[in-house]
Amino acid sequence: MMNPPAPTVSQTLQAALALQRQAYLAHPVPTLQERVADLRTLQRFVREHQEALCDAISADYGHRSRHETLLAEIFPAVDGIDHIISHLRGWMRPQSRSVDWRSFFGARNRVIPQPLGVVGVIVPWNFPLNLSLVPLSYIFAAGNRAMVKMSENSRHLAAYLITHMPAYFSPEKLQFFDETGGVGIEFSKLKFDHLLFTGSGQTGKAVMAAAAANLCPVTLELGGKAPAIVCDDYPLQTATERIMFVKLLNAGQICTTVDHAWLPASKVDEFVALARGIVQARYPTISSPDYTSIIDQRSFDRLLNALDEARSGGAQVVQLLDGPAFDAATRKIAPTLVLNAPPDCALMQREIFGPILPLR
């Protein structure tokens, strides 16, 4: 007797959505107490699995600073839930709105917050715990259910969440999915009641196009190329400390980090000297356990090629740590400043997403 064929990716996702929607329709408006219980359960999961979650994320990166994971992923998830619970009763309360008495004489107008149903979340690799559990906190606070698709670069974390989260939440409430090939495309096609996506603009366009076929509302948080602007009257030491801290957090792999910096021409040399001292105090060598690896080989090669392109175009490349400029085995690139980069080079035309800071 032949075994039945394994379900396709689409069939698996459709079945999960149908299960959650059926559960939503059976109980569409959870009480305040039920929502708080879900939030506390999510918080308890993070606390009970904190070390294993840090280890899984580090395994996905090759190496991820434990302190950065605690600061940027664990703490926001745990502390954010306390914040939500403290405000949730007020958020659930009906809100009065004004009425045009000339058109609706004697009428009253209220906004009554109601759950949407099933929310999809497409999570990027750079802060995979933060950008899955923080949205989940608000999804649960609003009384919804959720399906979460992890990144192809978060395989260790995805496996851990898929294995351990069912002990805390039933599949009718929450399910995680690994990116094993083609999952993201099928996930975007599902008839969610709302879809959240964080990632590149190119992928965001594809997600929004797929969701549009279902008239599914989409929230997009896309990449950026935001500068820091240092004014002539601002303390340069303070500016350098702050810029270099955020630029090197997660080795620059943050969509809201400082992509490049504008400085008064007379202060560029001083900024370089200050940056060198600050970086060497924080990361004595490129092998420091507090310094994070680049996520994968493609990204590592892209950054090195971008530096080579800028250098060949006449840019001055300033390495801020003594020793090797990079370590191919650990995919670490030394913090680097780039002066006089050509306007048409990759560093100036696309999001850098690495520990490289052009100065303008």
Would you name the residues annotated as active-site residues? 221, 255
Q: How far apart, in Å, are the Cα atoms of 308 and each of 80, 259, 305, 338?
A: 42, 18, 5, 11
Residues 6+ apart with CB under 8 A from 237: 274
Burial 310-339 (b: 16+ CB within 10 A, else e): beeeebeeebbbeeeebbeebbbbbbbbbb
Question: What's the CA gap between 281 and 276, in Å, rounded?
Answer: 9
Q: Are 153 and 295 in contact (CB under 8 A)?
A: yes
Question: What's the CA gap between 196 and 219, in Å, rounded?
Answer: 5
For 226, left (φ over 0), alpha (ψ -120 to 50), or beta?
beta
Longest alpha-carbon distance in the chain: 81
* Helices 236-248, 268-282: inter-axial angle, 10-degree rounding: 50
Q: Are 314 and 340 in contact (CB under 8 A)?
A: yes
Report the 10 Å Cβ neighbour count for 93. Answer: 10
3-state secondary structure of 333: strand
Question: What's the CA gap between 21 and 146, in Å, rounded?
Answer: 10
